[in-house]
Structure 1
Amino acid sequence: MAANVLIVDDDPDIVELMRFYLQREGLAVVSAADGLAALEAAEQGKADLAVIDIMMPRMDGWALCQRLKTEHPDMPVLMVTAKGETGHKLKGFHLGADDYLVKPFEPLELAARVKSLLRRYRIQSQMKVQIGNVLLDKHRYVAFVEGEGEAPSPPISLPLREFDLLFKLASHPGHIFTRNDLIEQVWGADFEGDDRTVDVHIKRIRDRFAELDCRFSIETKRGLGYKLEVAE
């Protein structure tokens, strides 16, 4: 499925120029002429990335960038403006903008920057998984348990194989993995040990989270394998 790029600019000629080059790269494009319309589009889930101008009616790009980064922190924002002074760039980055392009710009550079941001955010999203009230962070190989109305717990460090095994199960909740599936995907196809090593690691993971108020469980499907379930 093509990524949805939200173009926010009150100049229809600029919008059509961007639309042409982004669609040529296989991206889907929606547009908004002001910040309020852009927020509505983002709320409806129509945007994976926003390309926004600064000078717009009703809500300018500064305010829009700040709102998007507050309400949709996983949405990359590329600011495009005629104001190229360093101060404006710094303000945009301070408000959470991920990249900055100054008018007049090369449309091919715009498309390249958009695709680069989408790749970067997809990689980042693949490095974190939320299961119930537990966040797994593959950047640091740690888990955080969030309490009701409380700050996250101190990070829980897991050995490499245990973390990778839990991360694999958590990335596909409800999916049953056989022991062979898990051996190949976590230990590698050249692993020469007993497939019962999966059972040992599953037990260790269960033991680590047994005393914590975690809203997930790893279930044994007899004769099949294992699956992770998230409590409602």
Structure 2
Amino acid sequence: MMLEKRILVVEDEEHIRKFVKINLEREGFIVEEAGTGEEALEIVKKKDIDVVVLDIMLPGIDGYEVCRILRQKHPTIGIIMLTAKSQDIDKIMGLEYGTDDYMVKPFNPMELVLRVKSLLRRMDPLIEESNHIVLDPPFKIDKYSRKFYKEDEEIELTPTEYSIIKLFTENSGKAFSRDEILNIVWGYDFVGDSKIVDVNVRRLRAKLEDDPSEPYYIETVWGIGYRWRDK
């Protein structure tokens, strides 16, 4: 059980918000509530939030805008987006704004709890290896502080982006299928499609490649998935 982790549930429908809160509290989480995006941003300013469970359809600013602001000001917060729509465009938009995961309503509350736990595991700073610095010039990854650098300049990564880049840099030259990346990074049999991997890779390329349209470091292995270039 992951104790002392603080989860913010942002949902304008009170009965859904309370139901999610009850299930998270049963697992030992501290739960904050917000009914609007504006209220959620104020809570994040005042309290240390580990994961935000964020509905897209909110009064005032919507979940996409909340996600964009959170990623800009609090890049290490985990974000799971909720949507009542099943269209791919809603999922892709959420991923493009920087969400780590998504769930389509109606959902099983215990599945949401499992996804929160999975995301927290990706964010866990505990280091098993004595050597916590990985060097792959011009990059450096510090597994203790969970920071990633290019030419000694820090590149801000979301928790999911960090987990993917850690997987790649620790396995240079190894080709990973999308399903393998899903199982290793997300930590469960993901109920959805591989677009969540593609979008995260596209975001990573935009952040670290000299020319994202002609990626050098994160190679596409056609018909399989991706690999980190073995120099």
Q: TM-score, normalised by structure 2?
A: 0.55
CA contact (8 A) 1:6 1:46 kept: no
Q: Which residue of 1 aligns with 2:151?
A: 154
Counterpart of 1:138, as a letter, is: I
The structure 2 residue matched to 1:75, chosen from 68, 74, 77, is 77
Give the CA RMSD over aligned residues: 2.6
SS of the aligned residue for 1:78 comes to strand
Q: Which residue of 2 aligns with 1:38?
A: 40
Larger Rg: 1
Q: Which residue of 1 aligns with 2:133?
A: 138
The structure 1 residue matched to 2:52, chosen from 50, 53, 56, is 50
Q: Which residue of 1 aligns with 2:63?
A: 61
CA spacing shift, 1:20–1:70, aligned 2, 3 Å: same
CA spacing shift, 1:93–1:139, aligned 2, 3 Å: farther
Q: Which residue of 2 aligns with 1:93?
A: 95
Structure 2 unmatched runs, 5+: 142-148, 154-231
Q: Which residue of 2 aligns with 1:208?
A: none
Q: Which residue of 2 aligns with 1:132?
A: none
Q: Which residue of 2 aligns with 1:21?
A: 23
Distance in 1 (alpha carbons) for counterparts of 2:111 and 2:86: 16
SS of the aligned residue for 2:47 comes to coil
SS of the aligned residue for 1:64 comes to helix
The structure 1 residue matched to 2:10, chosen from 4, 8, 11, is 8
CA spacing shift, 1:65–1:111, aligned 2, 3 Å: same
Report matched runs for 1:81-230 at 5 Å: 81-123=83-125, 138-140=133-135, 154-155=151-152
Distance in 1 (alpha carbons) for counterparts of 2:134 and 2:103: 29
CA spacing shift, 1:143–1:85, aligned 2, 3 Å: closer
Distance in 1 (alpha carbons) for counterparts of 2:97 and 2:132: 25
Structure 1 unmatched runs, 5+: 128-135, 145-151, 157-232
1:71-122 residue CA offsets vs partner (Å, 9 max, x unmatched): 1000010001111211110110000000000000001000000011011012
> How many residues end up aligned between the 2 structures?
140
CA contact (8 A) 1:5 1:28 kept: yes
Distance in 2 (alpha carbons) for counterparts of 1:45 and 1:126: 26
Q: Which residue of 2 aligns with 1:163?
A: none
CA contact (8 A) 1:78 1:97 kept: yes
SS of the aligned residue for 2:99 comes to coil
1:170-194 residue CA offsets vs partner (Å, 9 max, x unmatched): xxxxxxxxxxxxxxxxxxxxxxxxx
SS of the aligned residue for 1:58 comes to coil
Distance in 2 (alpha carbons) for counterparts of 1:56 and 1:69: 18
1:169-224 residue CA offsets vs partner (Å, 9 max, x unmatched): xxxxxxxxxxxxxxxxxxxxxxxxxxxxxxxxxxxxxxxxxxxxxxxxxxxxxxxx
Runs of 4 or more above 6 Å deviation: none
